[in-house]
Amino acid sequence: MTLMPLYVLLGSYFALISWRAAHDRLRPAAAARSAFFGILALLFLIGDLLPLPLAGMLVLALAVIAGWGLPQQTAAPTSPQEQHGSARLLLPVLAIPLLTIVLTLSLPHFTLAGVAFTKQSAALYGLACACVIALALALAITRNEPAVARWPAVAICWSRSVGPCCCHCCWRFSGRCLRKRAWAMRWRRRSVC
Amino acid sequence: MSAATWWALLPVAVVVLGFALRQHPARVVLVAALSAGLVGGMGVVGLLETLGSGFLSVRYLLLIVLALPVIAQVEAHGLRALARRLVGSWRGARPGRLLLGYLALRQGSSALGLTSLGGHPQMVRPLVAPMAEAAAEQEPGGADASERERTRALAAATDNVGLFFGEDLFLAFGAVLLMQAFFAERGVELAPLEIALWGLPTALLAFLIHGVRLLWRDRQRGRA
């Protein structure tokens, strides 16, 4: 089983972070962060099509941006929500390793479109599927918008009042939310899929 | 040793010097890679090709990034506070004891091939480190900023030790198979079972040494 679908998933995620970083004027080094994740997205999405010297130049650019362009990360401030974590929050965290193990052991017994999973690809697909399922679980439990990363590639998103809504709505919401957060919250409550 | 052999060690010196001077890891790795290409006589195009093919062939290592949105989501809703609360309700909790239990779990599960049951992004950062920090705060005298940093580092090191010395005991682990293939190429036929069995003393010693280190830390802090 080829790993290309996983690379596309991860590349889309990096592209999304790059796009968000480019529009995030509140944090420093927006251009550097956007470029960093944009290059990562390129390498994942079309890395196999690039000439190797060009891919090498992109890797060098990644290292230069990481070494000189990005500011030192600091811990995020504690929000009021963080004071009242319920025990259910453990479920998504524990779901990742447990689901990964279950899928790693079970996927080699299945074929997808006539292609069998090798041991390595089963572990990687298991990890990716476990992360996606755990994210859906986390969003369902917290019943809130994703805290850091939007997930438009996955057609599941849970809003506070509506429940699951479609990918397109999440995409639109995520973009506007950056500029007018308060307005977006009102819009989100009204959205009907 | 010839001069060429000494030059080949230049990238190693760059890495040692870079980290000794507390430079950013990306800078250190970048300069080391460039110096390795230079002393290897690869040329600019050869170096770029090596960098490009090297990155593209191990892209799958970054798949763990997919776990970060999950961790971010639950952390933003109080996971770390929950972990602290859980430990806070355990009287007599100490970071060393807590981490010793995690070490046993991590090393045992890795020896069974369950290496995904743990890890820095999905287990240490959201759960183990906050629990250890909360335990450190319960100690007499509490925990200042530097002690909290030390406790986090100890939690990360515990995961490393448990995984590194545990996974060598699993027969189907890539490194065990690599060792078997390496020896077979040189005419030494070894069964993976033998390699795994001979990894057992090292794993036990690693557990004992790190376990003693953890408990010693508790004792020292208790005395202080």
| ipTM attached to this prediction | 0.71
Task: Please report residues of B whose CB lies closer than 8 A to that of A134.
Answer: 67, 70
What pLDDT, on the 0 to 100 scale, is given for residue A76?
57
What pLDDT, on the 0 to 100 scale, is given for residue B172?
64
pLDDT band at A175 (very low <50, low <70, confident <90, very high): very low
Strand partners, A159: A163
Strand partners, A116: A111
What pLDDT, on the 0 to 100 scale, is given for residue A79?
58
| A56:B52 CB<8 A | yes
Which phi and psi angles does A119 have, rounded to 5°? -60, -45
pLDDT digits (tens, 9 = 90+) for A75-84: 555 555 556 6
pLDDT, one tens digit for every residue, chain B (224 residues): 677 678 888 889 999 999 999 888 888 989 998 998 888 888 889 999 999 998 998 888 888 888 888 888 888 888 878 887 888 777 778 899 999 999 999 998 888 777 777 788 878 888 899 889 888 888 877 788 888 899 999 999 999 999 999 888 876 666 777 777 788 888 888 877 788 788 899 999 999 999 999 999 988 888 77
Among A100-104, A134-138, B205-209, which range has the highest average pLDDT? Answer: B205-209
Check pLDDT > 70 for residue A182: no
pLDDT band at A39 (very low <50, low <70, confident <90, very high): very high
**Mean pLDDT value of segment A167-193:** 42
In this complex, is the C-beta atom of A57 within 8 Å of any C-beta atom belonging to chain B?
yes
What pLDDT, on the 0 to 100 scale, is given for residue A150?
41
Nearest-5° Cα angle at A179, A176 to A181: 75
pTM recorded for the entire structure: 0.71
CA distance B53 to chain A (A): 6
**Mean pLDDT value of segment A7-18:** 93
Cβ–Cβ under 8 Å, residues B176 and B198: no
H or E element at residue A111: strand A111-112
In this complex, is the C-beta atom of A127 within 8 Å of any C-beta atom belonging to chain B?
yes
Percentage of chain A surpassing pLDDT 70?
Answer: 67
What pLDDT, on the 0 to 100 scale, is given for residue B205?
95
Nearest-5° Cα angle at B119, A155 to A73: 75
Nearest to B177 by CA among B168, B164, B187, B165: B168
| B75:A54 CB<8 A | no
User: Using CA atoms, how far apart are residues B165 and B66, in angstroms rounded to an integer?
Assistant: 26
A residues 10-49 lying closer than 8 A (beta carbon) to B: 10, 13, 40, 43-44, 47-48
Q: Helical H runs in B126-191?
A: 129-138, 145-167, 174-185
> Which residues 6+ apart lie within 8 Å of A154 measured at CB?
A132, A135, A136, A167
Domain range list for chain B: 1-58, 82-223
> Which residues 6+ apart lie within 8 Å of A29 measured at CB?
A69, A70, A71
Top pLDDT among A182 and A108 is at: A108
H or E element at residue A7: helix A4-23
User: Using CA atoms, how far apart are residues B89 and B216, in angstroms rounded to an integer?
Assistant: 23
Q: Helical H runs in B68-144?
A: 68-76, 79-88, 95-111, 129-138
User: Using CA atoms, how far apart are residues A26 and A36, in angstroms rounded to an integer?
Assistant: 18
Q: Work out whether the CA dihedral B84, B90, B95, B99 comes out positive or negative.
A: negative
A residues 85-124 lying closer than 8 A (beta carbon) to B: 85-87, 89-90, 92-93, 96-98, 100-101, 104, 119, 123-124
CA distance A47 to chain B (A): 7
pLDDT band at A9 (very low <50, low <70, confident <90, very high): very high
